[in-house]
Amino acid sequence: MIGVAILGATGSIGTSTLEVIARHGDRFRPVALTANRQVERLFEQCVRHRPDYAVMVERSCARRLEGLLRREGVATEVLAGEEGLVEVARLPEVDQVMAAIVGAAGLQSTLAAAEAGKRILLANKEALVMSGRIFMDTVRKSGAELLPVDSEHNAIFQCMPTQREGGLAGTGVTRILLTASGGPFRAAPREELVHVTPEQACAHPNWEMGRKISVDSATMMNKGLEVIEACWLFDAAPDQVDVVLHPQSVIHSLVQYADGSVLAQLGNPDMRTPIAHALAWPQRIDAGVAPLDLCAVGRLDFEAPDPARFPCLRLAYEAIRAGGTAPAILNAANEVAVEAFLDRRLGFMSIPEVIELTLERVGPSSADSLADILADDEAARRVALQLIAERPGQSKA
């Protein structure tokens, strides 16, 4: 029986992971489930799946969850705080860790799983965006397995040679092509983007995602973070990773080879497919996803992203080329700006402006230690908050 800890169990990735695990109860067991503040949802998951441990990051929420579970007669042990996340990521009975906490909040627990030599199912791209070299060095040193769960990186993983030490040069791979839907505003007139509301930005045409990731998709920062992640995962240079708009979201990414071949992974836009692939790799299991009907799809379209419409993509490329803590600064400023947009304190088109100004004001340093990274992350958040407070006349739509 394979023990699984799901960091971020109440989010879309976490709930999909539990669905896949439930289909294969003879093979996988949820040992630990974690959440930030969603007490009722985690309570329901604990009642249904009976994990050994549950973690609430908010301590008051942990006390409330423990009371609910005791009244229900559920023996799940409740832990709290960042230390609770780290503890369950290192448990000896945990074989695999689904790292699905959104944003920088998932960094330390995901790094703890790497230090403990676990199989890490990586849905938290920020761990690599913020601390790519440290994270990858830790994986190599501990013997951990790192399997990408983002649909794009999972597709690349499936299309790559199994042996790829020393960069792409020795593998015959010349280019990685990350596909992107373009989000809800791919074809919207640019002048209309000034008035975009959180509800519109979160209405993704193909995928069901959390609010923060949905906004990142609408600005294409999500794709920019994926470019950075791909560079670390596959030892690729930024110039070897391209982004291609593909509105149907059927081809999840492609890998181009020196002989002219291009390999692609296709499937319906459902996160249970890459989750099942990572859980069972190198075997295949039923994910509960309907087979792809290409005749029903009918057509597959592609176009280059418009840099004027999606400045966040340019900023991400600039950050990975700058190196050091620049990607961590980019990520921190984006998290603050997106939260302000969702709270209606910042206009949609001001998100990249705040990020760019933060990058200018917080000069990146070396990323030789986690302390360096976290210090620049904190500095970027302070600067971004100040920039947002200083901006007059923001849309309150």
Residue type, 172: G
Q: Select the more confidently predicted residue: 396 or 44.
A: 44
pLDDT tens for each residue of 302-328: 999 988 889 999 999 999 999 999 999
Two structure tokens written together for 122: 């990586």
Two structure tokens written together for 101: 């906490």
Query: 326-342 and 221-233 helices cross at what angle (nearest 10)?
Result: 150
pLDDT tens for each residue of 352-368: 999 999 999 998 999 99
Give the mean pLDDT of the chain. 93
Q: Which residues are bridge partners to 177 per DSSP?
A: 242, 254
The domains found in the chain, sorted by start residue, are 2-148 (3.40.50.720), 156-268+280-297 (no CATH), 323-390 (1.10.1740.10)
Given a contact cutoff of 8 angstroms between Cβ atoms, the answer to whether 215 and 198 are in contact is yes
Residue-level pLDDT at 371: 92
Residue-level pLDDT at 125: 85
* 3-state percent helix, strand, coil for the chain, nearest multiple of 5: 50, 15, 35
pLDDT tens for each residue of 262-289: 999 999 999 999 999 999 999 999 999 9
Residue-level pLDDT at 126: 84
Least confident of 81-85, 91-95, 203-207, 239-243: 203-207
Two structure tokens written together for 396: 């309150």
Q: Select the more confidently predicted residue: 391 or 40.
A: 40
pLDDT tens for each residue of 200-249: 888 766 656 678 888 998 999 999 999 999 999 999 999 999 999 999 99
User: Judging by beta carbons within 10 Å of its beta carbon (0-12, 13-18, 19+), is residue 25 exposed, middle or buried?
Assistant: exposed
pLDDT mean over 43-68: 96
Residue 117 has pLDDT above 50, yes or no: yes
Residue-level pLDDT at 397: 41
In angstroms, the CA 42 to CA 291 distance is 31
Q: How many C-beta atoms surround the C-beta of residue 315 within 10 A? A: 21
Confidence of residue 183 (pLDDT cuts 50, 70, 90): confident
Least confident of 32-46, 171-185, 267-281: 171-185
Residue-level pLDDT at 75: 95
Q: For the chain, first and last CA: distance in Å?
A: 50
Residue 329 has pLDDT above 90, yes or no: yes
Residue-level pLDDT at 184: 79
C-alpha count within 13 angstroms, C-beta hemisphere, residue 23: 16
Burial 102-115 (b: 16+ CB within 10 A, else e): bbbbbbbbbbbbbb
Least confident of 7-11, 29-33, 267-271, 388-392: 388-392
Confidence of residue 102 (pLDDT cuts 50, 70, 90): confident
Residue-level pLDDT at 294: 95
pLDDT mean over 150-163: 92
Confidence of residue 395 (pLDDT cuts 50, 70, 90): very low
Residue 396 has pLDDT above 50, yes or no: no
Does 205 sit behind a cis peptide bond, omega within 30 degrees of 0 on the bond before it? Answer: no
Percentage of the chain lying above the pLDDT 90 cut: 82
In angstroms, the CA 24 to CA 285 distance is 9
In angstroms, the CA 200 to CA 236 distance is 34
Confidence of residue 188 (pLDDT cuts 50, 70, 90): confident
